[in-house]
């Protein structure tokens, strides 16, 4: 795997290709050029840059940057399995040291506050790498950790990692019985009540929790306790009243009952869980295309006797190496996930909006690759929709078990923008994707990311689940992308689309914005919803659209850009739409304003001017800020390609107009409508 100049990873890059319509040079623009000319110049440069970043296979993929817990846990896994080597350790430590802040802490996003659990895990990783505890950088970290309450105040997942080496007591962790795997889908707290990312993690952790393994610790961690003589202080239970208290007492009862479970019964449950894990291993050896489930699955199977040379284990370990990004300085960063399908469909849309010919060879190559990524077999989603034919797309290279609704909507939008040499194949793929998305509509008319009606109130109450979202309720951004896709397919007046539109209108915040579940935050939600509503026929003069425009204008920064800090997830009143200007967030605001008919407004002109002024000569933008969301506040993402695709989309729409404005129904939409199995899917959506 090689690193490109923008930090993206992939195969050798093709030579520079220029859009067929690009006959102007940068020097054609006079010094006193107007905003349209400035925008056109920036658009051409961004087009060339993005084209040059496509892989030979047709996909785009930027680095997916999260935080150092990925790197620390990778080293801890290797230590646990006895396979940690000096080269990997040295490279990981180089990256982790480079992410430490002046106060000795590690944050979970650029410019964010120090995070206790991330700091503890980074500290332990550097101790594994040989850094002494009295080294200035570790001494600052350990002092801060003690000030925050020490290991005892960290989240459950951090204490699980420490328990693997005896640095924390297993009996002081929440109980997670493997018999959970036997709960039928109608029983509360069955594994399908959890979001797919949590489900993939919890199932292997039930085995780890049951086995309670301890490997010899290579060193003590007394310096990370507020009282080394009492490292495991008792936790105070919640009050007797309320769900939180009830689940705390349930956990206490499970601890008492642990010894009473017959060993044969527990072993049978663990074997069932192991089969569930192995059945969901992808062809490339990973689990769900994301790193955390792979790590815990490998540990769980190893505890059940699978040696490291077993084909399942060997493939799993090899898959972890593909999450590594090696940098020029020798540092090694671990991606939590990889986003080629998402990046490719967004890049295709951006290039089409920028005016690249619909039959451009690189767009056709992208479509060829995306068509090969469509998932045509059932996955976990079919537990709730057993009669719905497959047809979605996932986020990653390999993830047939968990296609997602968001990627599927955006891939369909991308496919429809390209003149492919086999239009029938494209139409058939789009028909399957539209049918699958319609069948995944939740009963309230909206869409979640991976599952239908994944809204149980109980999983988030478990003492074990103290970090991140563990359910997948419908969100405004995903619903908006589906509505926009359906409108592009000529289904704007379909009853299911209208239900989605009504849900979006009802979800608007009092200030005119929309909450962004999968991007930061109200700027992302609003930048997704407004284009969807106008594509679906909502007038730019509609009160909801005017409120959104007013809000966007009110939060524009003095420099002309837009930005929003992740703190808005915790403090919406103080941080909604507030933060340093970024390329991606400025683009989201522009996309909303342009869709609302504000092309001639001064707010749009200032936003376009900011994008042009901050663009590098090679057509790229810098963006150290995290504008992607894994779990609101708890887990943030810097998608390195966001800084390229969204500004290009916004500039393209400013220069060339809205892609759906005044356009006839998409070619093939009638076929897509017929293929959706409308009555069957609607009945399933209402009755399942």
DSSP category for residue 234 = P
Partners of residue 64 on adjacent β-strands:
639
Contact (CB, 8 A) for 583 and 647 = yes
Nearest Cα to Cα of residue 566 among 148, 67, 194:
67
- Helices marked H in 136-215: 136-147, 156-163, 196-211
The rounded distance, in Å, linking the Cα atoms of 245 and 419 is: 59
3-state secondary structure of 133: coil
- The total of other beta-carbon atoms located within 10 Å of residue 683's CB is 12
Is 453 noted as a catalytic residue in this protein?
no
Partners of residue 325 on adjacent β-strands:
333
3-state secondary structure of 253: helix
The rounded distance, in Å, linking the Cα atoms of 253 and 261 is: 12
Nearest Cα to Cα of residue 346 among 82, 688, 626, 591:
591
The rounded distance, in Å, linking the Cα atoms of 256 and 267 is: 19
The rounded distance, in Å, linking the Cα atoms of 202 and 208 is: 10
Nearest Cα to Cα of residue 593 among 534, 648, 633:
534
Contact (CB, 8 A) for 341 and 312 = no
> How big is the CA angle at 469 (ends 189 and 115), to the nearest 5 degrees?
130
Measure Cα distances from 634 to 10, 394, 601 in Å. Answer: 28, 23, 37
Q: Which entry of 406, 472, 494, 565 is annotated as an active-site residue?
A: 406
Contact (CB, 8 A) for 133 and 127 = yes
Partners of residue 337 on adjacent β-strands:
290
Q: Which stretches of 262-390 are assigned E, i.e. beta strand? A: 324-326, 332-334
The rounded distance, in Å, linking the Cα atoms of 501 and 496 is: 9
Residue numbers annotated as active site:
406
């Amino acid at each position: 795997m090689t690193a490109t100049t923008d930090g993206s990873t992939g195969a050798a890059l093709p030579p520079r290709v220029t859009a067929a319509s690009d006959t102007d040079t940068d020097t054609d623009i006079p010094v006193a050029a107007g905003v349209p000319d400035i925008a056109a110049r920036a658009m051409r440069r961004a087009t060339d840059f993005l084209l040059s970043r496509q892989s030979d296979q047709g996909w785009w993929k930027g680095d997916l940057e999260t935080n150092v817990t990925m790197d620390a846990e990778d080293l801890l896994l290797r230590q646990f399995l006895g396979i940690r080597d000096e080269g990997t350790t040295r490279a990981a430590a180089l990256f982790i040291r480079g992410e430490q802040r002046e106060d000795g802490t590690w944050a979970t996003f650029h410019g964010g506050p120090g995070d206790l659990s991330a700091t503890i895990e980074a500290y332990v990783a550097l101790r594994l790498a040989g850094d002494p505890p009295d080294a200035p950088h570790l001494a600052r970290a350990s002092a801060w950790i003690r000030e925050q309450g020490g290991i005892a105040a960290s989240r459950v997942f951090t204490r699980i990692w420490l328990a693997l080496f005896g640095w924390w007591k297993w009996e002081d962790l929440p109980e997670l019985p493997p018999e959970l795997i036997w709960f039928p889908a109608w029983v509360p707290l069955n594994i399908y009540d959890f979001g797919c990312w949590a489900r993939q993690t919890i199932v292997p952790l039930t085995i780890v929790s049951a086995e309670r393994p301890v490997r010899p610790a290579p060193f003590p961690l007394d310096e990370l306790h507020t009282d080394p003589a009492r490292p495991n202080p008792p936790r105070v239970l919640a009050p007797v009243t309320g769900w939180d208290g009830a689940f705390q007492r349930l956990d206490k009862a499970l601890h008492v009952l642990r010894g009473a479970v017959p060993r044969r019964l527990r072993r049978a449950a663990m074997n069932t869980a192991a089969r569930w894990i192995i059945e969901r291993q992808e062809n490339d050896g990973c689990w769900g295309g994301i790193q955390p489930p792979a790590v815990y699955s490998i540990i769980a199977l190893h505890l059940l006797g699978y040696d490291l040379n077993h084909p399942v284990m060997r493939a799993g370990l090899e898959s972890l190496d593909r999450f590594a990004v090696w940098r020029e300085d020798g540092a090694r960063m671990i991606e939590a996930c990889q986003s080629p399908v998402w990046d490719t469909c967004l890049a295709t849309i951006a290039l089409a909006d920028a005016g690249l010919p619909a039959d451009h060879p690189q767009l056709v190559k992208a479509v060829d690759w995306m068509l090969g990524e469509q998932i045509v077999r059932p996955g976990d989603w079919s537990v709730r929709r057993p009669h719905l034919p497959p047809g979605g797309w996932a986020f990653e290279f390999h993830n047939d078990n968990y296609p997602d609704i968001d990627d599927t909507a955006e891939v369909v939008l991308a496919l429809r923008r390209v003149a492919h040499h086999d239009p029938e194949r494209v139409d058939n793929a789009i028909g399957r994707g539209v049918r699958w998305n319609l069948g995944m509509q939740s009963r309230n008319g909206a869409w979640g990311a991976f599952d239908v009606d994944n809204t149980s109130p109980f999983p988030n109450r478990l003492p074990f689940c103290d970090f991140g979202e563990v359910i997948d309720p419908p969100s405004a951004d995903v619903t908006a992308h589906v509505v926009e896709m359906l409108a592009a397919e000529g289904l704007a007046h379909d009853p299911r689309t209208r239900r989605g539109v009504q849900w979006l209108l009802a979800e608007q915040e009092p200030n005119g914005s929309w909450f962004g579940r999968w991007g930061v935050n109200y700027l992302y939600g609003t930048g997704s919803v407004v284009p969807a509503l106008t594509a679906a026929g909502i007038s730019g003069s509609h009160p909801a659209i005017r409120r959104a425009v007013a809000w966007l204008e009110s939060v524009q920064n003095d420099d002309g850009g837009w930005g929003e800090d992740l703190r808005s997830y915790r403090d919406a009143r103080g941080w909604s739409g507030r933060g340093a200007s970024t390329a991606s967030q400025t683009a989201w605001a522009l996309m909303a304003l342009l869709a609302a008919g504000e092309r001639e407004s001064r707010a749009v002109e200032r936003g376009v001017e900011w994008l042009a002024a901050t663009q590098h000569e090679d057509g790229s933008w810098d963006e150290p800020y995290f504008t992607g969301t894994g779990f609101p506040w708890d887990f943030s993402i810097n998608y390195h390609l966001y800084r390229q695709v969204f500004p290009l989309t916004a500039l393209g729409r400013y220069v060339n107009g809205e892609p759906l404005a005044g356009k006839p129904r998409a070619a093939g939409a009638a076929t897509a409508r017929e293929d959706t199995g409308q009555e069957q899917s609607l009945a399933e959506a209402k009755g399942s």
